[in-house]
Amino acid sequence: MEKNIYLFRHGETNYNLHRLRQGCGINAGLNATGQKQAEALAQYLKDKGIEIIYSSPLQRALETSQIISLAIYAPVIIKEAFTEGNFGDAEGLHEDEVKTRWPEIISGWYVKDFEMDTGFPSGETKAQIQKRMFNALNSLLETPEKTIAVSSHSAALRFLLMKIGGGTDKIPNAQAILVKFANNIWKIC
SS (H, E, C) the chain: CCEEEEEEECCCCHHHHCCECCCCCCCCCCCHHHHHHHHHHHHHHCCCCCCEEEECCCHHHHHHHHHHHHHHCCCEEECHHHCCCCCHHHCCCEHHHHHHHCHHHHHHHCCCCCCCCCECCCCCEHHHHHHHHHHHHHHHHHCCCCEEEEEECHHHHHHHHHHCCCCCCCCCCCCEEEEEEECCEEEEC
Q: Which residues are catalytic?
A: 10, 84
Residue 81's alpha-carbon distances to 6, 136, 139, 164, in angstroms, are: 16, 6, 10, 17
What Rg value do the Cα atoms of the chain yield, rounded?
16
